[in-house]
C-alpha cells in the first residue's frame, strides 16, 4: 500500500481542493483505501492510501503530494500526540482552577495512552 501525503497551508482553498480530488478520483475510477484530512498547526494534511501503484503515482503527480511509509506516518502521529500532551501539561501548570487543570491533565493522559497503544500495535506487527 502506498500513502500519499499532501500538505496545504491553512490559507489554501481546502473545499475547492477536496472537490477537485473527489472529481479526479471519480474520473479515474479510483477508490483509495483511506482518505483523511487532518488539521495540524497551520496546515491541512491529506492522506490517501492506494493499493495500485499507477493510481498512487498519478494522484501524487496531480496534487503535488509526497510519499510516506505507513509505519513512518504512524510514528509521526505518535510523536505529535506526545508533543501535544506535553504542551497541554505545560498549559495546565498555569491554570488556577483545579477542575480546569484536571481536565487538561486528563486530555494529556489520553494522548499519551493513544501513543502507547499505537506503539504496542506497531511492535505486534
Task: Give the residues of the chain that fall short of pLDDT 70.
Answer: 68-73, 124-125
Is 108 found in the same domain as 59? no
Number of other CB atoms surrounding residue 32 within 10 Å: 21
Is-contact 49 69, C-beta < 8 A? Answer: no
**Is the pTM above the cut of 0.95?**
no
Asked if residues 111 and 82 have their Cβ atoms less than 8 Å apart, the reply is yes
Phi first, then psi: give them for residue 51, nearest 5 degrees.
-85, -30
Range of the domain at 107: 72-124
- Please tell me the distance from the alpha carbon of residue 102 to that of residue 89, in angstroms, as a whole number: 10
- 6/64 same-domain check: yes
In this structure, are 33 and 88 located in the same domain?
A: no
Specify the pLDDT at position 73: 65
CATH assignment of the domain containing 51: 3.30.70
Amino acid at each position: 500500500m502506498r500513502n500519499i501525503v499532501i500538505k496545504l497551508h491553512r490559507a489554501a482553498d481546502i473545499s475547492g481542493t477536496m472537490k477537485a480530488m473527489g472529481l479526479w478520483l471519480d474520473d479515474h475510477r479510483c477508490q483509495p483505501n483511506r482518505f483523511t484530512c487532518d488539521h495540524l498547526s497551520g496546515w491541512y494534511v491529506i492522506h490517501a492510501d492506494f493499493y495500485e501503484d499507477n493510481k498512487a503515482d498519478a494522484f501524487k503527480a496531480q496534487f503535488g503530494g509526497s510519499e510516506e511509509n505507513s509505519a513512518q506516518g504512524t510514528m509521526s502521529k505518535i510523536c505529535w500526540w506526545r508533543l501535544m500532551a506535553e504542551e497541554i501539561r505545560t498549559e495546565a501548570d498555569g491554570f488556577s482552577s483545579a477542575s480546569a487543570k484536571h481536565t487538561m491533565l486528563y486530555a494529556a493522559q489520553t494522548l499519551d495512552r493513544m501513543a502507547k497503544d499505537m506503539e504496542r500495535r506497531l511492535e505486534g506487527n
